[in-house]
Every structure is written in structure tokens, then in C-alpha cells.
Structure 1
Amino acid sequence: MVDNGCDSALERLENNVDARLNLASLLIEDSKEDEAISLLSPPQSFDLQNINKNSDTSKSWWLNGKIKLKLCNIYRAKGMMEDFVNTILPLVQESLYIESLGIKIKVRRRLRDSDLFERVKKVDDRQTDGVFCGSRPMVTAADRLKASRARKLLQKKAALKEEKKAAALAAGLDWHSDDANDESEEEHFKEPPLVNLLKDEEQQDLIIDLCKALESLERYYEALDIIKLVLKSGHNFFPVEKQQQLRSLGAQMAYYTMDSKHGFDCIKHIVQQHPYSITAWNCYYKVLPSKHKDCIPPIVISGHQFTVLSHHQDAAREYLEAYKLLPENPLINLCVGTALINLTLGLRLQNKHQCIAQGLAFLYNNLRLCENSQEALYNIGRACHHVGLVTLAVSYYEKVLAMKEKDHPIPKLPNENWDHAVENHKKDGYCDLRREAAFNLHLIYRKCGAMDLARQVLKDHCTFD
């Protein structure tokens, strides 16, 4: 505890904020952080639930922004992250909300009732003499609008006055009007607890440290709210490097929470800054499906990303999510089937035979949806070849060799124009898979020792003129 001299000084200056701050600084210099914390902490008799009931309590020294800022800096230096967050978070949130709403610290003067009556009278008074006797005066549209607003405000005040009068009479009290028609009233806008929160460099660092602390405590949504408000209100004050740091934190927490409502803009910005980063794109496509839960393309693309990285179990999970939404789509059935077939080659898989059967079931479903097309037959043959079912693979490759597929037009992107040279450069048969099937079939024959059959297949289907 502090010495007797300090105790007596605090007794005389108990509510003096500057005195407590100066004394806390001296204690910190003497490495007495615990005593500084007890000096700046609310008294033990302080009841948080009654703070709004007692106007004197709401103005107590321990609620001062400077006190809380000093206290949170001590917690941060000692690594007490939870106390640090609980102390400064309410002040940061309130200050950012005030900044985001664009509320300025100013005083606005209310109109007196006499001024309101004057505005109404200016429009409603009729001429009593002259040529325009009995007609309304000529007024501008702006004056007419002011008079309309004044009339509504007077009616509202009259109704409120009658309500108070009726309540007082019902309670058996004497009614005394407290009108102050001729007095000017002032309406004060609320001042943020932390002034210049977005402009001061130290407080900018405080916001970043607060977001990191919230992340370490797994309070992601509160951190994302702060990041969103800072990027909205402080983009003109925050340096670019610190904005990038906040966006990186937001993208990371959005990845953890799968909540695109808060962190999608951060992830989108990261992808724009690092377009060749696979990690950035993986994060983008993980969060994007949660933004549009019924949107198939991002789910399928996310599965493709996992396939490229050979994460076949994760790819199968994404493809199955798309299958739930669109079970009769040939491409989705093909993707699920190939992912399960690739998964069977993993060393840790226990039920490989079941996984092969499930993969082939999806490929046969693809065959049905494609009406026994050459490509669907080739895919089944290639899957059987991949897992070592060469007898089945040979039969399907032979079915492919017995068919000839017509060329189909290649889809174009929106607003994409191809010149005639590119279209004429495409050779006939670019949709025909007989050469691919013949080459795979010759590999099977050669591995089995049937060299003559292998050479014959290549001669019949893979010979160029």
C-alpha cells in the first residue's frame, strides 16, 4: 500500500483525477504496479449495477477515461490481457460508435416556444385591410416548411404537457406547469470517452493491441466489430500500414469464425493485395460460402482448391455440401466421385473398399445424368484404372474406343470475343477421348506383358498422319 503521506493526500484529494494519475506514475517508476492498480481501481464498495441509478456515482473518478486508459496500460504491460480488455473495451466501443455516427462535440440551441408561435403566425395570419383582405400572406416554401415543423412541435409539447397533468392528477398531486417558454434551452451532444482515439498514434497502437488481445481470448466477434468501425471511421487518420495490419487480423478471425458478415471485406482486400497467394485464396473461398450459403460456385471452387493441394478429404466435404444443394448436377457428382476415389489412396484410410464403392456410385450417377456419354465412360474407366481394377478399366476403355464424340462449342466468358484465327486454329476432334483411352489401355496391356496388343492399340488410335 501507499505510505501515510500519500494516504492523507488522497483523503484530501479523493476525487482528483490528476492527483491519482500522478501518484500512479510515481508508483510505476518504483516498480509498484500492483499498488498503482489498487490506486486506480474502483473501491470495493462500488456497485456496478447501481451506476445508472445514482447520478453522483456515474461521475465518479474511477469512471474517468484517463483513469481507465492509465489502468489498461498497466494491465497491458503486465500481460494481464483479460483485465486489459475488460477495462478499455467499453470505452473504445463507445468512442468508435460516436465517431462512426459522425456526432460532433457541439452545443445546439433549441427554439423557444415564442419563436415557434411566431413561425406559425407568419403563415396563418390573414390580411385585415387592403386589396388582399382576408387572404393568407405570401410566404416562401422554406417559411412554410418551418411553420409546418413548428406546428408539429407545438402539438407534441401540448400533448406531453397534458400527459404529465393527467398523471399528476391521477396520483393526487397538485399540477404545476414547469414551462420555460421564454428560456433558451441547450442540447449537448455526448463527448466520446477517448478523445482523438483515431488520430493519436498511441491510441491507434492501443486499438491494434486490443484486437490482438481479443483474438487471443477468442472473442472474435468483438474484435471484428472494432476493426469494422475503425476502417469505416478512421481510414483518413490511420496509416496504411496499420490499416493493413487490422485487415490481416480481421481476415484471420473471419477464417476462424466462418462469419463473412464481419470479415469478408478484410479477406477481399487481402486477396486483392496478394492475388498469387494460395493461402489468401483458400481463406477467401472458405469464408465466401458462408456469405452465400446457397451459392454453389464458391463451394465447388473451394473444393477445387483443396484438390489442388491434395487435401482430398476436405475437398470431398466441400463437394458433398454442394451435392446437398444440387444432387442432379453431373459436374458435382463427378467431383464427389473423383475426390472419394483419390481419398482411397491415402495410407490412413480404414474403410478403403467402402470409399471406392461410394466413389464409383457417384461416377455411375454422373454416367446416368450424362446419358452414357463418352466422357462419363472414360471417367469410370480412369477411376478403375487408378485404384487397380484393371479388368473393369479395360471394359470401359473399350466402350470409349467404340464411340465417337462430336465437338462441342467451348463456353465463352461474358464480354469475351474470339477472333476467327483462334477459332480456326482448333483442330477437329478436340472433344474426342479415344486417343486418351487408347493410350491408357496400352499401358495396361504393356504392364500385363501383352506387348503385341499394346502396339496394336497405339497403331489403330494414336497414329498421326
Structure 2
Amino acid sequence: MELENDLTSKFLSGEMSFAEYSNEWYNMDDEEDIDDASKRNDDEPFSFSGKGMQRRRKFARLPPGLLGLMGEANLRFVRGDRDTAEKMCHEIIKQFPTAPEPYQTLAQLYEHDTEKSLQFSLLAAHLSPPDAEEWLRLAAIFKQRNDCRQEMICYTQAIADDPHNFDSHLKRIDLLDKLEAINFPINTLHITKLKCYHKIVTSLPASEGETIMKYAKLAVTQYHNNNEMERALAVMSSAYKKCPTLFNLEDLNIFLELLIGQKQFQTCIEIFVANVGVEIEAEIQTVKNSDGEIEEQTNYLNCTIPDSLPIDLKSKLLVCFIHLGAVNLVQMLLTDFLNNDVENAGDLYMDIEEALSSTGQHELAIQLLEPLVKNNSFDLGAVWLKHAECLYMLGRETDAINSFYKVLIHAPQHPDARRKLYAILEKKGRIDEALQMLEQDFKYVVNANLLYEQCLALKKYKKWEKYLEVGEALLSKTFVKFRHQEELNMACKARCGIDLIHNFRTMRGESQYHENDIHFDEDETFKFTPQEEWDFFLEMLKTACKFKKYFLMQRLTFGAMMSKSLSPHRPDIEFYCLQACMLSNDNQNAFRFIREFSQKHPSNRSWNLLNLIINFIDRNTHSKFLLRLFQRDSNNVTKHLFLGNHFLISGRYLVALKYYLEYHEKCGDSLSAFLIAITILVMAAQRTVDKHHNLILQGMAYMQTYQSLRKCDQEANYNMGRVYQMLSINNLAIEYYERALACDHVTTCEQHGVIDLKRETAYNLYLLYKDHSPVMARKYLLKYLVV
């Protein structure tokens, strides 16, 4: 009641328009959406249900107290006291909003205001018992006002109140014709011609048989075009119940086709007997089913068919008997049917074959298929496929293989034929030929499910190169193949989807898809789950890495960044991108990923990877990045060593020396002393540097420090010899090389075995002796360097 009062007060005070008020009171149900919708009667009341009012079968009546007030209001109106009459009507509406009487009186009170009078008349009609004439009167008014929407509602309500009035149906259809002519958005009216036709068939009495048949045929045609077979059967069934005698053979053929499509075979038999003169002898037996329950079963014993019965109806009768299990009648009727010319009845052959195959009667089905495949008119892929499947079910695998090959001649990409042919060939042990059957031409539409099955088969038989090729094609359904560096930049900066890449290509004036892109069957339902796609992606990466297909790894990892289903694994994918770039020597893109990785995961391992990559690219452009990278952690000792190495390789020796000295001051290990010595000695070799001798002395002092700190005599002596060899002090170089040869090996490693510098040392001695003492050079060569 609170909602009722609120709506009424808002409308009367002008806070709500009549359209809004009417929508709240009456939410018109599209009764034509329900085929068996029945018309309303006088017992339907109003009630609130959800959002708005819906009509029920009982109408509200004023209580005695308000009924007296309503009579007083009408009396005041007749006497000319309009203001009092209006106030009384509003009072009744506030107390009982669902009564039609006050709205009827208000419509008369506002005759001078046509808009308000029409609004109250419409509300009164909504709330009153069925009155088709009133709705038609209102429809005429709205037609004059060119209010198509409200006019349509009035016609619909007039039909609901008097569904037998054919004129109301015609007026609604005429209105739809006019609206279509002016391109009015009819979908906003929630009514179509098709619903009007269906409503005519279900509403008119049997006496209007010709009209019913006319509109039933129109409705069935449109339903068939829309593939709404259940509705088509519903409208045809309604017409048949009302006027079965008006159904000619063509109408019966359509009706039987619909019944067979819905598997109502028993109903079809009844129609054959009632309408086309078919006589059937049958008996009913009582049997116990598999659940132990007693049920009746019909056994068909004999069937007499008129000679004049068209062949298409004969075929439908045969199909019904097949599905009803009348084996003896099926064999008899099939023998008679096979006498028909295949050229003219080939489609009917297929219908019967389909029924036989669906019930497992393949011996009979092959009798229909053999004449078809021998006829040039039916030398089609679909016919050969049926033939091949039937042969396979009969165990004639060799003949089935030939038929499947015929299918591929007509439809080279047919996935079912390829799949079944693969299974037969694999069973016979013809593995290479079987695997070839799973291949698809990527120039045409590709079946993703068959691609996945091909991957499994290739993996099973260890055809790894082909497996990688097909797997990459399958993943291209959700992965992106980048065309420009700018597209890769977008993918790296943001977790964008393929739509963003397509928009970017459109902005560049490019086609979203390349001519070499694989086009997948849009009607196919095959799709990886996110976990399945991730597992398959990892397996592809491992296989590509195992067989050193590094560029394939790079394509896969780059494409995976754009897959929406793999977005939760984005950090892992970026690291795989880094690995793939390093293995394929794509150092520029590798640096893109290691930059992000080293910032997110600062550790010695990430810095080692960073150092490894920047050694192969332009070093002068990364100094600022490295300084920012290590600036965050001022207590990090490793940064001095890392930056020192970077600036040493870059040729900025003073800066490198500064970082080495800082590192040596904090750590004081042998490595830092050795690096300082090397840096100073390299600086001493520069022409632009003064006081070469002082630098050499400082460098050698740090080499002595290194020698004292390094607890490995062979390595220390070898490095001292290298330094003296660089300085051309060959006698000291030879002395230290001799000491290195006399020492034990450096260490033993489980992975690399013995780490020994004797060969390197002997080779350096060979270089020192070969010009001045060939005999000594040969001695070291033969003793240490002969393999």
C-alpha cells in the first residue's frame, strides 16, 4: 500500500510523467513469447510483483464505503460540481488505486484537456475487466496522435480481451507493415509479425480454418528460416488440432518433417493412418523393462500403403518404423524403396540411411549408400563420409580407408575424416601415413582440436621438429606474432591484450591480420583452460630448448606475453623471454628484460646476468642506468666491483680505479688487488699518461699484494708471469711461468674436472722461446701441448 500511495501521489503532484506512471502500474507481458499463452479473463487482479504491476485473473472492486463515495462523485459531476467530484475521485485513488471507476470519471472531467483525459482513459482500461472495444477506441486515438508504441499496446490488449476478433489481428499486422516501411525500430515494441501469425493460429476458432492454415504456413516458413523447429512444430500442431481436414499432402509432409525432427514417431504413425490411408496392423504386448517395471509395447505386424502415396511420405513412414523398431516392416519397405531411381530420390536415401545408422542397422544402411556413391550426382564428400563410417562400423576397414580418401578429395580439410582415417591407419601400423592424415593446410581454415590431437600424436611417436611446428601453430590462436619493435615495446610496458595491438595496427594504417596468419574455425568450441595452456606452453619451451630451437623459444615467449589466460604467469614469462633472448643472442631485447628483472630481484645472480648481457651491447649508454640501479642500496659492497668492471671495459680507467679502491678498502681480498693492478698497468700503457714508471711500480705493488692474498700458487705465479710478459720483462716472466709449472693444479671441480693452468703456462713459454730458442719452445710444446 505504501508503494501504491507513493506512485499515485507522485503522478497527481506532477513528479512523475504519465509514461513512467503507466510503466509502474502496468508492465505489459509479451504474451506472444509463450506459444500456449491463454487470454486473460475477468478474474485477474492487479498485484505488485518485482518492479511494476502485472495483471492477474481477478479485477479489483471498490469496498462498500468507497463505492458510496464514488456514487457521490458521479452525482456531483452530473450536477456540475466538477471540483468536488475531482477531489472525491483523487481521494478514492489514494485509498484504492487499483479501481477503474475513479479514472473513468476523471477522464470525463478532463474532456477539455485531451492529454489528461486520454491518460485517465488508458488507466481505466488497464484496470477494467476485458473490453476489446475500449482498447480499439483508444488505439484509434493513438493512431491519430501518431503514438505507435501505445497504439501497439492497445491492439495487443484488444486481442488479449477478444482473441477471436480477426480484425484486431489484421490491424496489428498492418501497423507493423507501416512501421517497417518507415524503418521504425520494431524491436523496441517487443512484437513481430511472426508472433502475430502464431497468435492468429492459436487464437482463431476452428471455423476459420483457411485463415488458420494461411498464417500457420507463414509462421512455419519463418520459424524454419530462423531454425526454431520447436516453435514451428507448436504452430503446426495447433493448426492440425483445429483443422486437420484442410491439411493437403504438402502440409502433411512439412508437419511430419517437424515431428520426426522432434522424435515424435508415434504421432507420425497416427497421422499416416488418419490422413493418407495407410493401414497398419499391430499388437500391444505387456513386457517387463530393464528396471523390472511392467510396460506396454507396440509390435507392428503389417502395413498397407496406397500406391498413390508420394515417395517422400513413404520415406518418412519408413524412418518412423526404423525408430520404432519394426524390423520386419523396415526390411519389407526398404526393399520396395530401393526400386526408386537414385537420381530423383537421393536425398530421401540419405534420410533413411541416417535413421538406420543412428539405430545401429549398418547392414541395411550400406544398401542405401552403395547406389548413392555410384551415382555421379551424389559423388559428394558428405555421402562418402557416411559411406566410410558405415564401412568402418561393419569392420570393413580397408574399404573404409578408400572411402575416407574420397572424402578428402572433396573436402581436404575435413577434420572428422582425417581423425578417423588416422585412427584406422594407426591401428594397421601405418604410422607415417597416419600422421600425415592429421596435417592441415594453413592456407585454409584450420581446426584447432585436430591440431591438438596432431601434437599428441607427434609427441607419442617422437616427431619433435614437426611437434614444435604444429604446437606453435596451435598457440598462435591466443598468442600474438609481433610485426614491429614498437608492438613488442607496448607488450613489455603494459599487460595489454591482443585488442590493443589490433588498435595500434589500425592507427598505423595496417591490417589487423597478416595474410600468413592462421585462421581458425570460429564455430569450433575447442579451447585450452588457462592451466592446460600454461602446461602446453612450458612443454613447448622445454622441447625447443632441448633441440636448440632458440628463435622458436623467442617467438613463443614474446607471444605468450599477450595471452590473457596466461596473464597470471607474466613474471615467469618475462624471465623466459630473457632466457630465450640470451640463447638466441638477441642482446638488445635481452637487456630490456634484464633491466626490469635486476630492479625487481636484486641479487648476485641477476647482476651476473646483467653484466653478461651488457658486455655484448653498446656499453656507453648504460652507465646512468647502472648508477641508478645501485644507488638505492648504498651499503651494497658488490656495486663497487660491478661498476668498476663496467667502467674498466668501457675504457674509463680512473672511474674504474675509484670503484676498485673503494671495494678493496672494504673487502681487502685478492681479487680487488688484482683488478687494481690490472687497471693501473693498463693506464701505464696509455700514451697520454705521464709518469709511466710510477704507475708500473704501483701496479706491481698491488700484484705483490694479490700474490700474498691469493692462496693458490699456480694461479698467482701464472698471473705474475703474464704481467711481466706484458711489460716485456721476459726473464721474470719465464721465472714465474716455471714456478707455475712446478705447482699443483688449482682445484678439482665435480662438474668440470681438474682445473689446471699448465697448458696455458706452457703455451706462453712457447711464445717467449719460439723466436730466440726454438729448441726450448719445441720442448714445452711436446711436453704439455701435444694431444
TM-score normalised according to structure 1 size = 0.36
Quick check: which has more Rg, 1 or 2?
2
TM-score normalised according to structure 2 size = 0.22
Q: Which has the higher contact order (CA 8 A, sep 6+)?
A: 1
